[in-house]
Structures are given as structure tokens and as C-alpha cells.
Amino acid sequence: MTSTAHKVTSGLVFLGMRTIDIVMIGNRVCATLDRLYTQVGGFSVQSDDRVTIRTADFELCIDNKADCHVPTLERPAAHFLALTLTPFEPTNEDDGPCNQSIMAHVLQALHLGLSPDYVQWIDPRALLSSADFEMATTLPEREPTLEELSFDDGTEAAKTKPRRHILPGIEETNLILQARLRSADPIEGALRATFREDLIDRPAIVDDIREKTTPLRLAVWLLTITLGLFALPMAAALAVFNLLRGENLRLTSQTAALTGTFIAFQTFGTTANAMSALQSMLG
């Protein structure tokens, strides 16, 4: 994967000839983005080998390149599925890990269904084999509890329990950790860290209805004060809502419109007729 100030690229490498359905791949990527709570705003098919997916924050292009030269490979790849994520706004230090996380999840979903020979990650000269990529993007299994480790009822099942359920000694544990640290692949480690940070540090999804600009928020308060001149209880309830959830111009306008409608009904004595008509519409 190559990171610049404007885009993030990666790809799947296929050494043998494959039938690549670019529309199916685009639909799978859209489903993956939906699971990441990223709303897809556009999906277009430019050709049999290219699709473009757009969201509110970035554009993701998927290209199927035949007989493509891949660095570090002795022969051209029969197919190279290139993914390019381009943010609409220049990225900063905080956006970089987020874009990498999105790309990693998309690659994982495509890798699961397509089983490529290699995955290009970090830069064009760095390739992960299919097995290494799967190992890097798969979180370790749950460790057995203390009760499970100490359980021994004398039965054959307990005696034949696999070796992985036995707690190793201190010296053995130290040797295993030191060996893993010396043999750790920085590419694989960075990819695994991306997945772990995404699962641990993902912020809670909050429905923010507050207006983005100060003039709009000021307009909400002015409209609330104006509503208080005609219906003080409604204005008070709306002011409390604005303080708790944030100023929302559409909600305030709808509240003012409904309040004005019922004030007009009461003024002309047609409230009973309006309620009867509403009841007949609702059945």
C-alpha cells in the first residue's frame, strides 16, 4: 500500500488466469463499507474492469489490470486488482490510520472471497503471501480461563486435552516471546495493529444533529425565542432539547410550523374539525 497526502493504494495479485466479476467485487466492497458504518453515496461501473465507489469523505476506485508488472515478482501477474482510496479533503495525521483501516477491511473482505496469491501492502515493493495476510488480519483466539486451565476430573477427555490448553512455564513463555519479537515482520505487525486499533479505539457512533455553523445555530435560537411569544411551553421544551442534543434548524422549523398551524385552528374555531379529519386519515 502506498500512502501519500491525497490517496492510499493497495492491491490483490493473481498469478493465474481468473474470471474477475468487477460488479460483484464492487457490491462486496459496498457491503464491507456498510458494515464499517460508512454510507455509500455513489456506485458507478465505468467498464468491465473498473468501478468507482463514492462516500461523503472519499472515492474508492477498483481496477482490474491484466498482465501487470508487480515489483519483486519474477513474472507479470495475470491479474492485479488495484484499489485506490482518494479523500476529498487533504488528509492529516488523524485521517491516515482511518483510511488505512478502511483499506485493510476492504482487502480482507476481497481476500476471503477471491483467494489471491499475494496482497500488496505498505508499498509496491512489499508483498504479503495469502497465508501471511490472513495471519496478520486474524485476531488471536480467546485465551482459556483459569478454571479451564485447572480443570481436571480424571477423565480421558481431561487427560487428552490439547497441549495449547496447558499453561507453559515462565522460561518457556519467555523463549516463545523472544522468538516472536525477533522474527516479527514489520509489515505484518503494522497490518495487525491496524485491525486491533480499529476494534479497540473505534469511537462510539453518535447521532449528532447539531448545526455545523454558528449562523445556523443562532437562527435556531432566534426562532425559538420567536416561538416563545406565541406558545411559551413549546418554546421552553424546544430550548431544553437544544441544550441537551444541540441546535437543529429543521426540527425547530417543523415545531414552529406545527405550533402556528394549531394556533390558527384555535383562532378560527376549526380545531375539532381538523382533529376529526386527522382521525379519519389515520383510520
Q: Read off the pLDDT of residues 40-68 as tens digits, 9 standing for 90 and up.
A: 989 999 998 999 999 988 999 999 998 88
- The confidence score (pLDDT) of residue 163 equals 43
C-alpha cell at 221: 435560537
pTM confidence score: 0.51
Compute the average pLDDT of residues 204-219.
79
Domain ranges of the chain: 2-136, 214-282
CA–CA dist 97, 195 (Å, integer): 10
The kind and range of the H/E element at 47 are strand 40-47
State the pLDDT confidence band at 89, using cuts at 50, 70 and 90: confident
Res 4 pLDDT > 50: no
- The confidence score (pLDDT) of residue 198 equals 52
- The confidence score (pLDDT) of residue 237 equals 92
What's the Cα-to-Cα distance from 219 to each of 154, 211, 241, 274, rounded to whole Å?
75, 10, 15, 31
Considering the chain, what is the average pLDDT of its residues? 76
Nearest alpha carbon to residue 220 among 253, 245, 243: 253
What fold characterizes domain 2-136?
S-adenosylmethionine decarboxylase (3.60.90)
- The confidence score (pLDDT) of residue 69 equals 85
State the pLDDT confidence band at 178, using cuts at 50, 70 and 90: low
Q: What is the DSSP string of 137-171?
A: TSPPPPPPPHHHHH---SSHHHHT--GGGSPPPHH
- The confidence score (pLDDT) of residue 97 equals 59
- The confidence score (pLDDT) of residue 184 equals 47
Output 209 or 14, whichever has higher pLDDT: 14
- The confidence score (pLDDT) of residue 1 equals 46
